[in-house]
Structure 1
């Protein structure tokens, strides 16, 4: 029985990725053509298709390519790893997102304060409270 192989365009179409994205992932070592056709086209396996779908889903929930690479290693050798290790990867990501959310909330509050302080009238911006505040604020 012959194994199904895909050219890069077919793989891109099946995953909803662009050919450039598949090439990028290939250059990053996240996926690798398993062989070449008689015409020299790179051919990818059903495992590569599944791997790209995994990568796409992992990116959709916010994992970076480095984190995805780590998850792929865990996925590729599940008997050598524990669920705890996988959970640690997601726990790190949740902590990172919590920190970013807290930072964004601070930024939002600062912007709301600036916005509220401004009269927003038709006067010249020469004495605009937002511009004055930005001129005198310390960068964080």
Structure 2
């Protein structure tokens, strides 16, 4: 059995993160000491590493809860997990396309302005954004 600090170090997270994951229902201590200190087993370290890796792949804590629930569900199969991963990938692709569109819009603004010492009243970027704002409010 390990203390919260040791488990956090072993999993590469902070003790505060571990406590937060506990309040979110992602893990629980295996037991408590008579003084009330939480004790964790090696499964907690494995679970924390799973959560950390899933977060790095773009999964939210809600998504991770769903993945963990599927892992425990007898009737679930690999296809259920695969479907969740495909859904997450599609969400990320949508966000990437939105970011690409924003980048193209910024490119257009950058190309509209030569820079220089003109007053901001004559700035083509601010002018274009102002026109966009007026058109959006119509």
| Residues 117-140 of structure 1: per-residue CA shift (max 9 Å, x gap) | 00101221211000001111145x
Partner of 1:31: 27
Alignment of 1:27-66 (within 5 A): 27-66=23-62
Q: Distance in 1 between matches of 2:28 and 2:112?
A: 56
Given candidates 114, 127, 131, the residue that maps to 1:136 is 131
- Residue aligned with 1:6, SS: coil
- Residue aligned with 1:31, SS: coil
| Residues 28-59 of structure 1: per-residue CA shift (max 9 Å, x gap) | 00011121013220111211111111001100
Please, what TM-score do these two structures have when normalized by structure 1?
A: 0.91
Q: Distance in 2 between matches of 1:126 and 1:119?
A: 14
Given candidates 79, 97, 116, the residue that maps to 1:121 is 116
Please, which runs of 5 or more residues in structure 2 have no aligned partner? none
Alignment of 1:60-139 (within 5 A): 60-77=56-73, 79-138=74-133
Over 4 Å off, 4+ runs: none
Q: Distance in 1 between matches of 2:72 and 2:3?
A: 23
1:10 corresponds to 2:6: yes
Q: Distance in 2 between matches of 1:52 and 1:119?
A: 51
